[in-house]
Structure 1
Amino acid sequence: MNFTKFPRRNYLQGATPIEFMPALTKALGNDVKLYIKRDDLLPGSAGGNKTRKLEFCIADAMEKGADTIITCGAVQSNHARLTASWSAKEGLDCHLILEERVKGSYKEEASGNNFLFELLGVKSIGVVAGGSDMMGEMEKKAAELTAAGKKPYIIPGGASNAIGAMGYAVCAEETMAQLNEMRLVVDHIIVPSGSAGTHAGMMVGMTGVNGNIPISGVNVSRPKDVQEEIVYKLAVETAEKLEVKGGVAREGIVCFDQYVGPGYSLPTDSMVEAVNLFAKTEAILLDPVYSGKAAAGLIDLVRKGHFAKGSTVLFLHTGGSPALYAYMDTFRQA
């Protein structure tokens, strides 16, 4: 894969660590060794996976002469936080459109990422009802800003287009280089699957480097069939952009939807258990929306014997711990 022909900012500071999780491995048993890829340690205000995607998206915006970034997400969006972070670093204005996917969940004075939007100097926050046409809302904002003399650039939710997903094709290549250096054989990779850029990018990258490691996504919102099609469509677009020969096989796109619970961002008992287990065994903070539910899936799959005895499984930690502070009541009541 050749990334050099695409504009890219230099936000990464080397590879993120791959670490063994001995205490969690022991706690779960079943003779499955658990490792973690620490993308929660990526640069940016409090870190997280969107930094990889924004290296490409913001570079594309700047090459096109933009002075303003518009993006969207849920009310506690990690993507919105990191977009605001890198916009501030680059001297770009940032405007957010937040989708209130759970009615009444947006609170102007809320903690977590909501507070960080303010601290990072976001120019405006528009809040719309769940199910709104988010691209349409961002385009309205772009028209308003253009009329005011600005040069806006729209980054889709999660930076999950073919430009952003390239960041996770890079991650797959980086991961394989680390595993080869460590002489570590990994039998399976588990990733959170939401806006699909991380999952699709990892699939494309693993195909592009002939890594031959199966990747499964744990859904955070949608049913299995819907999510798999979204991931596959984006993987095809990303593979075409990177000229990955043969593309990505549809049968390789696998998602688990049993851990979503009542809906996106709504707490589940298994998520609470996963966050507590990771914190108390490995001192690793997950987030309640993405990595927490993905880890709940990982834990359940290990317990159920989904992975063969003696397997080694790598969990991709996408970050997001600032959102924990907006869920303190959930954990204190558990």
Structure 2
Amino acid sequence: MRDFSAINRLSFSHGPTPLEAAPRLSNALDCKVYFKRDDCTGLAGGGNKTRKLEYLVADAQEKGADTLVTIGGLQSNHARQSAAIAAKLGLRCELVLEDVPNTPKADYYKNGNLLLDQLLGANIHRLGEGEDAQLYSEALMSKLVEQGAKPYLIPIGGSNVIGALGYVRCAFEIVKQLEQQQLEIDQIILASGSAGTQAGLLAGLIASGSSIKVLGINVSRTAEQQSALVCDLLEQVLEYLEIDKSLAQGVVHTNGDYFGSGYGVPTEQMISAVKRCAALEGVLLDPVYTGKAMAGFMDLVSKKEIAAGSKQLFLHTGGAQGLFAYSEVFSA
């Protein structure tokens, strides 16, 4: 394996983030539940994308970039954290943000992450439903170059090999915390979207020699589609780390039963899970990622597909800032 500590990284997160027990939720679900609190990474409200951006923006600086460009939905947590890091470093930030069909609109266009993007000084390019954000961003990159800027395009969700290194590092952190707390975990559960968090986490566990299972609850794709996406990126990360990529076989597990009618579209199970987690643990989930992942977790426990008494670590990837854009579904 290549020397991981030698890979260039900027330091923005408040880490290591806590790994803590959730006793009231554990009692309610009849299994031992722990949270890995990556909602507490710190920068402009925190979240999992900060870990990815520590590596991506280090790469951008190595390449002399003065402008960060990235893509997301109008309420993208990734966009917020990209804008925050750009502000911290004095870089220009261009956010290409797509409207998401069938999302509640009362606060969607003026609150939550979008409000924070504006406060952080990002230039926002709003696209309507159906517009091609990738083509728009490529044209924007060309325009910026013509203007004399040095732009760096960060992929959606920060999910490429470089971004996934943030969750390789997180896996090392989790393994160390489990050893320090003398805990044994049966499974890590997380929301799985652009694949970088799950792929990086799996690569880090493989590199650590850990056999902990990882289950991704998908936020926009079927299990077959998402597993293929995660496996492909996992193989790339292992190859980059100079680890046998055949170790990716058989370790990717995803579930596509809980995203409802689409990305960012509320479900009754998500609303219930967010409210329940807040009331039992004082932990705020989000409506797009962690809320749906927790809904899946709770349902799998109720179906006994997750065994009573098992030890489950829920990776909280942040995003509570998005609750304010979805206020109408929680106050109804």
TM over 0.5: yes
Q: 1:287, CA displacement in angstroms? A: 0.5
Alpha-carbon distance in 1 for matches of 2:211, 2:76: 32
Aligned counterparts of 2:131 and 2:203: Cα–Cα separation in 1: 30
Cα distance, 1:108 vs structure 2: 8.4
Q: Which residue is 1:173 aligned to?
A: 172
Match of 1:16 in 2: 17
3-state secondary structure, aligned to 1:252: coil
Q: CA deviation at 1:100?
A: 1.8
| Partner residue, 2:220 | 221
How far apart are residue 4 of structure 1 and its match?
Answer: 2.9
In the alignment, the residues of structure 2 paired with residue 132 and residue 163 of structure 1 have an alpha-carbon distance, to the nearest angstrom, of: 27
Q: What residue number does 1:265 align with?
A: 264
The one-letter amino acid of 1:13's match is H
Looking at structure 2, the residues matched to 88 and 250 of structure 1 have their Cα atoms a distance apart, in angstroms, of 40
Unaligned runs of 5+ in 1: none
Q: 1:324 maps to which residue?
A: 323
1:82-111 Cα offsets, whole Å, 9 max, x none, are: 000001001100001112231687788510
Alpha carbons 1:103, 1:129 under 8 Å: kept: no
Distance 1:150 1:80 in 2: 20
Q: Provide the rounded CA distance (Å) in 2 between the counterparts of 1:3 and 1:283.
A: 36
Q: Say yes or no: does 1:72 pair with 2:39.
A: no
Whole-angstrom CA distance in 1 between matches of 2:201 and 2:125: 32
For the structure 1 residues 94 and 41, does the alpha-carbon distance in structure 2 shift closer, same or farther, using more than 3 Å as the test? Answer: same
How far off is 1:35 after superposition? 0.5
Distance 2:132 2:321 in 1: 27
Shift, 1:13, TM fit: 3.1
Matches within 5 A, 1:21-100: 21-29=22-30, 32-100=31-99
Residue 110 of structure 1 corresponds to which residue in structure 2? Answer: 110
TM-score by length of 2: 0.96
Distance, in Å, in 1 between the alignment partners of 2:261 and 2:103 is: 16
The one-letter amino acid of 1:158's match is G
What TM-score, normalized by structure 1, do the two folds share? 0.95
State how far apart, in whole Å, the 2-side matches of 1:102 and 1:169 are. 33
- Per the alignment, do residues 104 and 26 of structure 1 end up closer, same or farther by CA in structure 2, a change over 3 Å counting? closer
In structure 2, the CA distance between the partners of 1:127 and 1:109, relative to structure 1 (3 Å rule), is closer
Name the structure 2 match of 1:119. 119
Superposition deviation, residue 76 in structure 1: 0.1
Would the aligned equivalents of 1:240 and 1:247 in 2 still touch at CA under 8 Å? no
Identity percentage of aligned residues: 45
In 2: Cα distance, 1:137 partner to 1:232 partner: 28
Residue 295 of structure 1 corresponds to 294
State the match for 2:235 in structure 1: 236
Amino acid at match of 1:313: Q
The 2-side partners of 1:296 and 1:105 are apart by 19
